[in-house]
């Protein structure tokens, strides 16, 4: 074989290897999507069907209208309300993260403050703190100040995933803005706030979008704070809804998988429409929320 | 990209003249006498929400968790902020309770096993993606999918795949003749943790792949070519040239992977709920069980502190590896 031919064969071999790897990576996602369209009879037949068997929308109907034999949470009024709850929590987390993180990141990169080193070290360490440690304490503290079972309580807790990450990513971005920009604005008589609001913020648009997407996904996908801070009586995000279908002895697989597909939608949408922000966030932060 | 064009449209110091001539780093125009103080004030104001948030959502819970671990809590004391002081008895409980001890040991084993699997597969994929082949951009963007899913969803998917009856894994094993009867992946106390481990490796591989891939991108082409000219085979090139160069990236990846795996919770709850017979309880899930199912918040808090110490062991190393980011905190960059 001549050299170019050999290298072309090698390249296709790589494609083949990558395709094989992707089968493993994507198969579980494929399985839940296909499974969500299977009938209860198929799901409990004891046979796994590699291809769609007898597609039906029954599971989605069950999940949207409620009425499933819910196994752990007692009441389950259907996932449509839960999807809305998760949207509110996700958007709330993104909003909180931006409100706190954008000005902080600006201060930590463009102002010379004594606390900068302490705060940045704290942020790095905060990313390490396991959520269960915070959840145990926040449960009692929130009980005391009446934030249990509330949107603000859950959003504040979910912010712990997003805010340290957001500040660090935005700070890295602000370093890339030339200081002359700020000096010029000041010379022209802009106040500090105007400089931030009118000059810096518009330039930070793409970094802000990246951070907002990750904060949204963190709030949307959160399970541990929802499990501890909400006690099932009031608001219930979709992650808790899925959990409520899991039984110790029997699981309503159709309902679990249809709600699981709902829960995957934002990630799927982001992957398609915001691919470049996702890639930027993943490499910039190097930490998942 | 449009950032650059916009930035270009802003007035530059050169056009505005005198202002920025002998400024100290990061401070503004000397003509205003109050400039420095005004900027200190503005900086602090910009930081205030973040400081308040960090104190409320991180510092307070951590301090409170330490207090809680020295208190004798009961369902009746949850309504109060404090309970009677009880010394070290919660920690004594953790050390003697077989389930807690097993959970601590298991967390180590699980973390070590996960990191090993994630690194081997992640590194292999990173090497694959750094080669040129048709479809590699698509493959690279799809490989991150597992990372973006809610963890509880990943848990239930694997619960579905590893079912004894009608699960894809058993079906495959039996179809290809590797097994003759269904394996009780999730009901066998010896196998259940392996199932979680496999799910966690699946979950962590994209992270390892992406970070190691970005490390590989920084290996200079000349170095690789020089190694080829010197007659190094692929394995030697990898071991003697590439790995030493990207060692810092490997360290960061392991460190973050450790921190991430040590906190795994949703996955276990989704897959096994800690069972069967507590055989898959990790520190996180057992702490949840102690606090929120047995209402022994003091004991849960003590176990939390074990986890916290475990996670924070890494923090000096983490700060050291992030020193680039920290060094900029001195303002040296400007």
Mutate to test the interface with B, among A17, A130, A230 (most CBs of B within 10 A): A130
Specify whether the CB–CB gap between B83 and B72 falls below 8 A: yes
CA-to-CA dists, residue A69 to A35, A160, B160, angstroms: 18, 34, 18
Contact with chain B for residue A217, Cβ under 8 A: yes
The pLDDT value given to residue B19: 39
Domains (ranges, CATH) in chain A?
Answer: 67-285 (1.10.3720.10)
The three-class DSSP label of residue B178 is coil
Distance from CA of B3 to the nearest CA of A (A): 6
CA angle A114–A118–A119, rounded 5-degree value: 100
CA angle B266–A282–A166, rounded 5-degree value: 85
Give residue A71's pLDDT band: very low, low, confident or very high (50, 70, 90).
very low
Q: Enumerate the residues of chain B whose CB falls inside 8 A of the CB of residue A230.
A: none
CA-to-CA dists, residue B124 to A4, B199, B208, angstroms: 25, 18, 10
The pLDDT value given to residue B51: 96
Subunit contact B139:A21, Cβ cutoff 8 A: yes
Q: What would the pLDDT profile of A127-178 be if each residue is shown by its tens digit?
A: 899 999 999 999 999 998 999 999 999 999 999 999 999 999 899 889 888 8
Contact with chain B for residue A206, Cβ under 8 A: yes
Q: What is the rounded CA–CA span in Å between residue B29 and residue B34?
A: 10
CB environment A9-44: b (16+ within 10 A), e (fewer): eebeebbebbeebbeebeebbebbbbbbbbeeebbe
Looking at mean pLDDT, say which of A113-117, A279-283, B50-54 comes out highest. B50-54
- Nearest to residue B236, comparing CAs of B246, B248, B247, B224? B224
- Nearest to residue B141, comparing CAs of A205, A168, A71, A275? A275
Q: At a CB cut-off of 8 Å and minimum separation 6, what does B280 contact?
A: B106, B192, B193, B196, B268, B271, B272, B274
Instruction: Annotate A35-50 with DSSP letters as a single string.
Output: HHTS-HHHHTSS---S
B71 strand-pairing partners: B85
Angle at which helices A58-65 and A253-273 pack, to 10 degrees? 90
Contact with chain A for residue B160, Cβ under 8 A: yes
- Of residues A115 and A2, more confidently modeled: A115
Torsion of CA B197, B58, A165, A29, to 10 degrees: 30
Question: For B165-176, what is the HEC assignment?
Answer: CCCHHHHHHHHC
Specify whether the CB–CB gap between B100 and B180 falls below 8 A: no
Q: Enumerate the residues of chain A whose CB falls inside 8 A of the CB of residue B303.
A: none
User: Residue A72 class from Cβ within 10 Å (0-12 exposed, 13-18 middle, 19+ buried)?
Assistant: middle
The pLDDT value given to residue A284: 63
- Nearest to residue B290, comparing CAs of B279, B269, B304, B276? B304
The pLDDT value given to residue A248: 60
- Of residues A284 and A65, more confidently modeled: A65
Q: What would the pLDDT profile of A16-37 be if each residue is shown by its tens digit?
A: 999 999 999 999 999 999 999 9
Instruction: Annotate A140-178 with DSSP letters as a single string.
Output: HHHHHTT-TTSHHHHHHHHHHHHHHHHHHHHHHHHHTS-
Q: What is the rounded CA–CA span in Å between residue B238 and residue B220?
A: 13
Q: Enumerate the residues of chain B whose CB falls inside 8 A of the CB of residue A160.
A: 57-58
Please provide residue B85's backbone torsions phi and psi, each rounded to the nearest 5 degrees: -65, 140
Specify whether the CB–CB gap between A162 and A219 falls below 8 A: yes
Subunit contact B156:A48, Cβ cutoff 8 A: no
Residues 33-92 of A with CB under 8 A from B: 35, 43-48, 50
ipTM: 0.90
The pLDDT value given to residue A19: 92
Q: What is the rounded CA–CA span in Å between residue B121 and residue B205?
A: 7
- Of residues A62 and A280, more confidently modeled: A62
Q: What is the rounded CA–CA span in Å between residue A221 and residue A90?
A: 8
Subunit contact A32:B157, Cβ cutoff 8 A: yes
Q: Enumerate the residues of chain B whose CB falls inside 8 A of the CB of residue A285.
A: none
The helix (run of H) or strand (run of E) holding residue B114 is helix B98-129
Q: What would the pLDDT profile of A250-270 be if each residue is shown by its tens digit?
A: 778 888 999 999 999 988 888
- Nearest to residue B303, comparing CAs of B125, B100, B157? B100
- Nearest to residue B188, comparing CAs of B95, B291, B276, B290? B276
User: Residue B280 class from Cβ within 10 Å (0-12 exposed, 13-18 middle, 19+ buried)?
Assistant: buried
Q: What would the pLDDT profile of B276-312 be if each residue is shown by its tens digit?
A: 999 999 999 999 999 999 999 999 999 999 999 998 8
The pLDDT value given to residue B300: 94
**Nearest CB to A132; choose among B161, B304, B331:** B304
The pLDDT value given to residue A31: 93
Please provide residue B71's backbone torsions phi and psi, each rounded to the nearest 5 degrees: -115, 150
CB atoms under 10 Å from CB of A121, counted, come to 17
The pLDDT value given to residue B23: 44
The pLDDT value given to residue B52: 97
Subunit contact A157:B273, Cβ cutoff 8 A: no
The pLDDT value given to residue A227: 94
Average pLDDT, chain A: 86
CB atoms under 10 Å from CB of B56, counted, come to 14
CA angle B118–B153–A60, rounded 5-degree value: 150
User: Which residues belong to CATH 1.10.3720.10 in chain B?
Assistant: 98-330
Mean pLDDT by 10 residues, chain B (334 residues): 36 38 46 71 94 96 94 81 86 94 95 96 93 87 87 94 89 88 90 95 93 88 85 85 89 89 94 90 96 92 94 85 70 40
The pLDDT value given to residue B84: 84
- Nearest to residue A15, comparing CAs of B129, B146, B120? B129
The pLDDT value given to residue A2: 53
Class of domain B98-330: mainly alpha
Contact with chain A for residue B266, Cβ under 8 A: yes
Q: What is the rounded CA–CA span in Å between residue B58 and residue A138?
A: 9
Contact with chain A for residue B65, Cβ under 8 A: yes
Give residue A79's pLDDT band: very low, low, confident or very high (50, 70, 90).
confident
Q: What is the rounded CA–CA span in Å between residue A242 and residue A263?
A: 9
Q: What is the rounded CA–CA span in Å between residue B20 and residue B313?
A: 45
Specify whether the CB–CB gap between A68 and A245 falls below 8 A: yes
Count of CB pairs separated by less than 8 Å, A with B: 369
């Amino acid at each position: 074989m001549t050299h170019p031919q050999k290298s072309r064969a090698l390249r296709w071999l790589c494609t083949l290897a990558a395709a094989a790897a992707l089968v493993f990576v994507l198969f579980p996602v494929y399985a839940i999507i296909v499974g969500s369209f299977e009938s209860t009879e198929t799901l409990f037949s004891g046979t796994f069907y590699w291809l769609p068997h007898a597609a039906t929308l029954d599971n989605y109907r069950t999940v949207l209208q409620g009425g499933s034999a819910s196994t752990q949470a007692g009441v389950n009024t259907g996932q449509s309300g839960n999807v809305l709850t998760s949207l509110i929590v996700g958007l709330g987390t993104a909003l909180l993260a931006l409100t706190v993180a954008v000005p902080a990141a600006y201060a930590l990169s463009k102002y010379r403050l004594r606390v900068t080193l302490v705060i940045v070290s704290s942020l790095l360490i905060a990313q390490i703190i396991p959520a269960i440690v915070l959840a145990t304490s926040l449960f009692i503290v929130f009980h005391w100040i009446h934030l249990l079972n509330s949107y603000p309580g859950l959003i504040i807790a979910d912010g712990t995933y997003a805010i340290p990450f957001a500040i660090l990513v935005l700070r890295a971005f602000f370093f890339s803005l030339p200081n002359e920009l700020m000096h010029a604005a000041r010379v022209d008589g802009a106040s500090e706030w105007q400089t931030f609001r009118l000059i810096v913020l518009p330039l930070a648009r793409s970094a802000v979008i990246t951070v907002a997407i990750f904060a949204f996904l963190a709030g949307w996908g959160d399970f541990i704070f929802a499990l501890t801070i909400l006690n099932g009586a009031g608001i219930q995000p979709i992650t808790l809804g899925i959990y409520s279908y899991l039984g110790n002895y029997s699981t309503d697989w159709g309902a679990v998988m249809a709600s699981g597909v709902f829960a995957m939608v934002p990630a799927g949408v982001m992957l398609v429409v915001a691919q470049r922000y996702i890639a930027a966030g993943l490499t910039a932060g190097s930490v998942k929320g | 990209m449009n950032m650059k064009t916009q930035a270009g449209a802003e007035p530059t110091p050169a056009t505005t003249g005198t202002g920025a001539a002998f400024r100290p780093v990061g401070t503004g125009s000397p003509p205003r006498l109050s400039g420095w103080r005004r900027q200190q004030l503005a900086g602090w104001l910009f930081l205030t929400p973040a400081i308040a948030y960090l104190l409320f959502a991180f510092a307070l819970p951590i301090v409170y968790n330490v207090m809680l671990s020295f208190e004798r809590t009961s369902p009746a004391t949850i309504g109060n902020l404090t309970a009677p002081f009880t010394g070290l008895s919660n920690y004594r409980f953790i050390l003697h309770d077989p389930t807690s001890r097993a959970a601590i040991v298991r967390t180590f084993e699980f973390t070590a096993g996960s990191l090993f699997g994630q690194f081997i597969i992640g590194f292999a994929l990173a090497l694959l993606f750094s080669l040129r082949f048709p479809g590699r951009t698509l493959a690279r963007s799809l490989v991150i999918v597992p990372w973006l899913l809610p963890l509880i969803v990943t848990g239930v998917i694997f619960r579905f795949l590893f079912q004894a009856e009608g699960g894809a894994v058993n079906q495959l094993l039996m179809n290809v003749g590797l097994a003759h009867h269904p394996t009780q992946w999730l009901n066998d106390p010896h196998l259940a943790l392996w199932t979680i481990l496999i799910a966690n490796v699946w979950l962590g591989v994209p992270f390892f792949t992406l970070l190691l891939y970005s490390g590989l991108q920084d290996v200079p082409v000349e170095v690789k070519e020089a190694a080829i000219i010197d007659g190094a085979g692929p394995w030697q090139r990898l071991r003697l040239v590439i790995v030493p160069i990207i060692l810092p990236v490997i360290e960061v990846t392991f460190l973050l992977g450790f921190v991430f795996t040590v906190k795994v919770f949703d996955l276990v709850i989704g897959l096994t709920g800690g069972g069967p017979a507590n055989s898959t309880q990790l520190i996180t899930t057992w702490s949840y069980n102690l606090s929120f199912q047995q209402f022994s918040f003091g004991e849960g808090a003590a176990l939390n502190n074990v986890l916290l110490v475990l996670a924070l062991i890494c923090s000096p190393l983490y700060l050291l590896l992030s020193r680039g980011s920290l060094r900029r905190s001195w303002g040296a960059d400007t």
